[in-house]
Structure 1
């Protein structure tokens, strides 16, 4: 353990050291700072960071924390955009990045069993020789952990065809406050046995229990892929084309949108030579034969042309397609350079409402004199408008806050949601009641009180605060 002054008593530190070993407990300033912020605008230091490597260690930590009423915030890859892993009430950060073993790969049962600290990228590298993958494709997949994917119900570029994390979680080992260990779910393709407790923990952001083991469904990797880039005069026209594609019988494996502000930012920072147009749509089809893949893409290109596309460029190989996806995946880092503060939204609307919400974004931009660069996984209606502003300017901050509130109201009014894949964390907690009525909110709070009666797990998130014992 390091020597930085800690607000927790020496007795608590000694207990933690007995549970996991002295070398895995630290109060060094550099470690506390490293665990005080994710990729959002939120910051708060913990009192201590503990690295667990086994389920038994997690159990021992939670037993002590429950008895002593010490907050525990779980840490994976630290890639959240909402403040979900930020220890807003201090206490213990429980870092699970060392629980990074792939325990079983069973292609014959189409499952894999992993610890929560395994990264998305490492998992798929290990699955590749067997011809399978874990399909959700988060942009931060090189460092994002599978445990974090489960905690936020993460999605990605291929969610429109392949679904999000919840569609792949078959079972969990969860450590509850107090230290009890619960196993949920099965390793079978289906089960109708009792309540589906597994899914209660998916998307719960570490507020109900600590996920210590995950059983995932895996899918065969298609042998063929094809990609095109369609350009449009405006993002609303692009959204209209996407809506037409998705209302047909076509099944793109990825369908992305990038607006002019993002195109300009990418071109200023990365040498990809994207065309300067109102918006681009990136489409991908996949399959097990070239004929199947090309047939789908021919039809998608045709729909784009019929709905105002200026040009449709084909990528003739995976190598040619790679810069297109690189452009999309670099959008957040380059947008973060636009001002001293940038945060990305995560609204999702019914696909038929894409033109409406894109028009609404343009109206908000004009109304509040803000540039709102927008990208998104439009194949499932998920948009990431970005607010870039000067946080030292009170007027800009006020305009951003008003635009954010109105954006949520408009999305929810269209039958949408605050978050399609990033989760709620701190960023969206104040807006939960816009989407969830009083009965639903109270039901979630009842679940929180049942699983975590002393409110030690990730307190302050998801608007779950209520009286606790």
Structure 2
């Protein structure tokens, strides 16, 4: 890499930082991932024009990063020599509009920052399960990380509306309603709010970037659909086995009753609730049933108490029909505290890693009715690896009003124990293969799952190559047809 040539790129006034201590912040701290090239430097463009100049003039790969803190998934890894393209300092909330319930954020805006900014407007944003404090809202949303509020999602790309993208070829493009005509300011004068994701015309290039893990293009801002903050709300547990909880979730989600809803097995629930006090894990876990379903019920601006009460009555009926009883607490955990923890930032470190230092995590999509089958696949894989079944965590999140489900299978481990790491590597390979054969869809492929998302469908791979040729012909943001 020629640092002088990058610093001298037309329109780019920044420099390349290569201090080893600084670069260590961009390493992926996951012993289960294959070795990749470490970043040779980091650049922090000052604005969009500077970013375009870099992509138009340089030939070295760049890995976009917008989150701060430990990186464990592997999406920023590259095989080839590369530099890190850090946009975490682009952390402005560019617009909040209560009338249209929409906001526009830059890449470095975090969930805690955005939530505080939305509060005075009486709004909030659906969030993933206890995101870490440095997690970029833009990065999580474009990675399609699910929120805990499934009935506010009408399409899998929600809450993302419009985006501004600089593709790998350096060209600027705006998607959805932001595509024009006119500038954003001109659109707002005519009451436009950049809230529609489709367009311009019949195009939907936003989906090219979503799920791309920083390849094809770099989003410089996104508009997000926000929601009214509840005026009153109550949280309840429903505990039991999956066979009873599954029909309950279908019954409640079908008519859009309730608000936040998700399922965790006792291990995952105890991991979440003890993330800031790992010594409490065993005590919390032993007081919980096999699975817990968190059900939040809320009222908003108009007749909030009346709305909460009629929904509560309907949900209670559905619970009784499935031999379930909503509880305000289970064991040592109250539903209100559990809800608060699940919908707040968890701190610098991901809550999954608090128990033992790291956590194997396999994520995929399917439907809720298939949950018992995938759970059995998970348990059988643990048996083959000689791992106690009770140590495995399960998170099941309905998405798009429960038309599908996000599944996460997790297993905490000690990254300093070479033998344990070796077991986890073998287990991940075996588990991903068997899940794939059972019908799991790896829509967000990381680690061993990547082999079952690319290279298994020739038509899909041709389409990815075509997208690469169109939007990033030099592969400056990383090649998708290479395993990383």
Give the unaligned 5+ runs of structure 2.
Answer: 178-192, 400-404
CA distance in 1, matches of 2:73, 2:3: 32
TM-score by length of structure 1 reads 0.81
RMSD (CA atoms): 3.3
Q: Report what 1:382 is aligned to.
A: 406
The equivalent position to 1:286 in structure 2, one of 298, 312, 328, is: 298
Aligned pairs, how many?
437
8 A contact 1:121–1:141 mirrored in 2: no
Q: Report what 2:186 is aligned to.
A: none
The equivalent position to 2:237 in structure 1, one of 229, 233, 238, is: 229
CA distance in 1, matches of 2:45, 2:384: 49
Map 1:353-392 → 2, pairs under 5 A: 353-370=370-387, 371=389, 373-380=392-399, 381-389=405-413, 391-392=418-419
Change (3 A) 1:335 1:128: closer
Deviations 1:52-108 (A, max 9, x none): 23111211221222xxx2010000115665310234433110000111111222223
Change (3 A) 1:212 1:340: closer
Change (3 A) 1:300 1:81: farther
Map 1:30-429 → 2, pairs under 5 A: 30-37=21-28, 41-42=32-33, 44-65=37-58, 69-78=59-68, 81-140=72-131, 142-162=133-153, 166-186=157-177, 187-190=193-196, 193-232=201-240, 234=241, 236-237=242-243, 239-246=245-252, 248-263=254-269, 265=271, 269-270=279-280, 273=284, 275-288=287-300, 289-309=304-324, 312-314=326-328, 321-325=335-339, 328=342, 333=350, 335-336=352-353, 339=356, 341-370=358-387, 371=389, 373-380=392-399, 381-389=405-413, 391-392=418-419, 394=422, 397-410=425-438, 413=439, 416-419=440-443, 423-429=444-450
CA distance in 2, matches of 1:290, 1:59: 51
CA distance in 1, matches of 2:65, 2:477: 12
| 1:409 to partner: Cα distance | 2.5
| 1:16 to partner: Cα distance | 6.2
| 1:452 to partner: Cα distance | 1.0
CA distance in 1, matches of 2:51, 2:31: 26
CA distance in 1, matches of 2:357, 2:194: 49
CA distance in 1, matches of 2:124, 2:360: 30
Give the unaligned 5+ runs of structure 1.
Answer: 1-7
CA distance in 2, matches of 1:51, 1:219: 33
Q: Report what 1:3 is aligned to.
A: none
Change (3 A) 1:219 1:260: closer
The equivalent position to 1:447 in structure 2, one of 462, 467, 475, is: 467
Q: Which moved more, 1:439-448 or 1:245-254?
A: 245-254
Deviations 1:153-196 (A, max 9, x none): 22221135435772233322211224222222214555662312
